[in-house]
Each structure stands twice: as C-alpha cells, then as structure tokens.
C-alpha cells in the first residue's frame, strides 16, 4: 500500500517539505493549514509539478483533519516563525497552542503515525506533542540536529574548500543556540577536522552555526529558514519510510540515556520504520558533558514554563 505523509502548516517549511517528499515520490502527501485556500493552492501547484518530476504520488491540500486520517508520518511545521531579534524561545507560548491543537487532532485521526516536530522551540514542542498524543516516545521526535550539522558542514566545506558531502559531524543538545558540537567526531572522510584547522577557526565556524538560524532571519527580515530545514526533515522521512536505519541527530525522549531523564533533546539515534529504533550513547568528555547538561537545563526551563 502507498504510504501517506501529512504536513501540518502550509507555510515556508511545510510547503517546501511537501514539495521535496512529492518530488522524491516517497508517499502521497496531504498539506494541512488553517488558512483557507493556501494548502489547496500550494498542493495543486506541487501536484502539477509531479509529471515533470516523474513522480506518481497524490498531493492534496486541506483545512480538514479528516483528510489527514491514517497518515504514516505527520510533520508538524505549523506555528509562527521568528522575526529579527527574537529567539526561538520567544515563540514558546504562541506555538505551544498550535502544536497542542495539531497533536490532539493527529492523535484522533492518525493514531499510528510517526510524528516529526519542526515548530520552534523545537525540543520543547516535541515533548509537548508526545505528552499530548500519548504516543510511544519512539514515534514522536523533533528535527534540529540534522539542520545544525548541515550548517556546520557547509561552513567547514567552504573553509577547507572540500565537498560538504565528505564532511561528517554530530551535534547534540537543544536546537540552535543551545547546540553541543563534538569537533573531535567531526571529520573530512575520516580525518578529524581538529587535525586540519586551528581551534580558533573551528570555534568561529561553530559560532556561525549556532546562530545560523538568526543569520537567515536577519537577512530575510520577514521569516526564517526553510530550504535546509525542509531538506533535514526529508532525510528523517526517508530513513523512516525506507527503513534505512540511518544514524541521525534528532530530538528524542531521554529516559536515563546520557544521564538525562524525562526530556526531549538532541542525540544520535537510529531511525527506521518504527521511528526511533535506538539511542546511540557516545562517551562524552568532561567539557562536552558540561555543555550538554547546560543545554538540557535550558530545554528543561521551557518545559517548566509550559507546565507539561
Ligand atoms: N494549524 C495549522 N496551521 C497553522 C496553525 C494551526 N493551528 N497556526 C498557524 N498555522 C500555519 C500558518 O497559517 C502558516 O501557513 O503555519 C504556517 C507557518 O508558516 P510560516 O509562517 O511560513 O512559518 P515557517 O517558516 O514555515 O516556520 C514554521 O517551523 O522552523 C520552524 O521556527 C519555525 O516555528 C516555525 C515553524
């Protein structure tokens, strides 16, 4: 049977995600939004591109959760993006209402779905979606680390004048400003970047990475990043739909792993057809441990504010 993926929120991130899924022919796509006409119009436009992409998936836009029923994957992008000088955390209360209502609806209409949360502040929103749906934590996760990693890979590739494809890295912790990079596990085809670049250069690239979202908000002025976020979601969707079992940094529920309990935060996981198949625990050195703890504490603060 053909797979079905719903994208909640037909804005920049949602519509771009729907486009990538349809272009790759991964599954039928339902694009949902509260604004009348927008999901329908964008879905129709994407559907009309499918013949040119040799893709035979079905794409539909809707304002009704009924149409999203029995989805295999639901991607939540609904909510407000940042404006200049706003942090992701400033979006907390406005976006919590949106994510909660979407999660309530998904729990009723797609009780077996795997949920990927993109709405910011993403780690807290993933925890909220999990609490609201009461799904197994294996089926609720957030997208953040893949995007942070991709930004770092881009800046490293430019600095070293090598292909970003050859750069591997892993980023833990809360998304964006709170990320915890692991330079000693960052390599160019297996060669640690610590052998290739000075610490001060790596630190400068990491600083640009952690404020990578804000850099784009500052340039766009009326919205936040969406091409790379959507591409990061696609990597997760592909790993789940094709049961690829890729090792990807995602925000998942920690229940003792890394010494953290009852919190959604970014760690490396294996993603397959059942969602989060396992959390990969790497041994952190003292400084990394301290940064990770600090990052978890910031996410925990948001969870406290949400009182969930
Ligand atoms: N249900 C469904 N859709 C909603 C709801 C809701 N309750 N509330 C808002 N939306 C829709 C809006 O109508 C809009 O179409 O969410 C969409 C958001 O789109 P954009 O404003 O373009 O925002 P986008 O750039 O896509 O970012 C969405 O992802 O990366 C994060 O920080 C970003 O939290 C933000 C989210």
pTM value is 0.98
Give me the domain span that covers residue 132: 4-142
Residue having the nearest C-alpha atom to atom 33 of ligand 1? 81
Any domain includes 46: yes
Any domain includes 44: yes
Any domain includes 206: no
Q: Measured in angstroms, how far is the CA atom of residue 64 from the centroid of ligand 1?
A: 16
Return d(Cα 289, Cα 295) in angstroms, integer: 10
Any domain includes 279: no
> CA 165 → CA 147, 177, 185, 189, 226, distances in Å?
14, 24, 16, 9, 20
99-150 pLDDT, tens per residue?
999 999 999 999 999 999 999 999 999 999 999 999 999 999 999 999 999 9
Any domain includes 67: yes
Q: Measured in angstroms, how far is the CA atom of residue 13 from the centroid of ligand 1?
A: 8
217-249 pLDDT, tens per residue?
999 999 999 999 999 999 999 999 999 999 999
With b for 16 or more beta-carbon neighbours within 10 A and e for fewer, the 85-102 pattern comes to eeebbebbeebbebbbeb
Annotated catalytic residue within 60, 82, 139, 175: 175
- The atom number, within ligand 1, closest to the CA of 226 reads 25
Residue having the nearest C-alpha atom to atom 18 of ligand 1? 11
Any domain includes 107: yes
Number of structural domains found in the chain: 1
Residues 169-195 have a mean pLDDT of: 95
175 classed as catalytic: yes
Check residue 167 and give its pLDDT.
98
Any domain includes 113: yes
Q: Measured in angstroms, how far is the CA atom of residue 74 from the centroid of ligand 1?
A: 14
Any domain includes 23: yes
Structure tokens at 253: 């529920």
The CATH number covering residue 96 comes to 3.40.50.720
* pLDDT-derived band at 289, boundaries 50, 70, 90: very high
Percent of the chain past pLDDT 70, that is, above it, reads 100
Residue having the nearest C-alpha atom to atom 27 of ligand 1? 81
Could you tell which of 79, 91, 100, 219 is best to mutate to test the pocket of ligand 1, judged by most ligand atoms within 8 Å of the CB? 79
């Amino acid at each position: 049977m053909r797979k079905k993926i719903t994208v909640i929120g037909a804005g920049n991130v949602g519509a771009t995600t729907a486009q990538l899924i349809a272009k790759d022919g991964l599954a039928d796509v339902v694009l949902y939004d509260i604004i009348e006409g927008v999901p329908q119009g964008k879905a129709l436009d994407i559907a009309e591109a499918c013949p040119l992409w040799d893709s035979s998936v079905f794409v539909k836009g809707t304002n009704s959760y009924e149409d999203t029923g029995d989805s295999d994957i639901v991607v939540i992008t609904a909510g407000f993006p940042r404006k200049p000088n706003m942090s992701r955390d400033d979006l907390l209360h406005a976006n919590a209402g949106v994510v909660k209502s979407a999660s309530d609806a998904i729990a009723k209409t797609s009780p077996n779905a795997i949920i990927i949360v993109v709405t910011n502040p993403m780690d807290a929103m993933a925890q909220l979606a999990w609490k609201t749906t009461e799904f197994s934590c294996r089926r609720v996760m957030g997208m953040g680390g893949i995007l942070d990693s991709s930004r770092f890979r881009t800046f490293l590739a430019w600095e070293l004048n090598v292909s970003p494809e050859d750069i591997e890295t892993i980023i833990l912790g809360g998304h964006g400003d709170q990320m915890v990079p692991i330079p000693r596990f960052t390599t160019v085809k297996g060669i640690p970047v610590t052998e290739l670049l000075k610490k001060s250069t790596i630190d400068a690239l990491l600083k640009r990475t952690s404020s990578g979202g804000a850099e784009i908000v500052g340039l766009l002025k009326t919205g936040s990043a969406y091409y790379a976020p959507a591409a990061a979601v696609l990597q997760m969707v592909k790993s789940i739909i094709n049961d690829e079992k890729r090792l990807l940094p995602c925000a998942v529920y920690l229940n003792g792993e890394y010494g953290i309990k009852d919190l959604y935060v970014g760690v490396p996981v294996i993603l397959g057809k059942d969602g989060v198949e396992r959390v990969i625990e790497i041994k952190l050195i003292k400084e990394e441990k301290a940064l990770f703890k600090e990052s978890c504490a910031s996410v925990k603060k948001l969870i406290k504010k949400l009182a969930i």
